[in-house]
Chains A and B, each alone.
Chain A
């Protein structure tokens, strides 16, 4: 079974802090993704990566950056956290484009 592990289930940070969310997958998948999920807005893609050190912006990249130094690990960085970034963050991975994406358990992030 595919295992996508997110480093924290719950996280509380303060406005202005730099926040790191980590994601690791164990299936040698090429692609990795970061989404946020908000009530009424559904799942929205922040960034994705199709190879080590390769990244592409999704629909809502503002205020975020990502890092993929190793194939199995994909990090989401909130450069200067703001209250409107309070959300559920979901990491996913897939073999290649068009293949099913498998999700981690999610990180519920609160910015105070």
Chain B
């Protein structure tokens, strides 16, 4: 059974702090990794994607990938109340780039 695991939260951080969201996956050999943000009642919105080991930065967001340990993280610097949402991790199925598996998401609360 392919699995993408996320702590459901909620993760509460004060405004201006760094929020760290983690995701582990079971399918060794997965090559495409994505983070989506989903506001309540809305559809998922792509934030970042990463294909190679290491860090990838985009504004306040940094994705970190460690394939050996099979985890991918999302760091949000200078967290804002508008970042309060559920964050979904997605990983492709080995041998099938068309098929993604999504975690159940981590709910983030940023307190003003």
Contacts and interface: CB of A to CB of B under 8 A. Distances in A.
Interface of A: 31, 40-43, 45, 48, 50, 56, 58, 90, 96-106
Contact of A100 (B42, B49, B88, B105): B49
Interface size class of B (residues with CB under 8 A): 20 to 34
Grouping DSSP codes into helix (H, G, I), strand (E, B) and loop, the A interface class, with mixed when no group exceeds half, is: loop
Contacts of B46: 100-102
B98 A50 contact: yes
Contact of A43 (B31, B44, B45, B96): B44
A98 B97 contact: yes
Contact of B99 (A58, A96, A99): A58
B26 interface: no
B43 A103 contact: yes
B111 to A, nearest CB: 24
B104 interface: yes
Contacts of A104: 43
Contacts of B102: 42-43
24 contacts: A31-B98, A40-B104, A41-B104, A42-B88, A42-B102, A43-B88, A43-B102, A45-B99, A45-B100, A48-B99, A56-B98, A58-B99, A90-B43, A90-B44, A96-B97, A98-B32, A98-B51, A98-B92, A100-B34, A101-B46, A101-B100, A103-B43, A103-B44, A103-B45
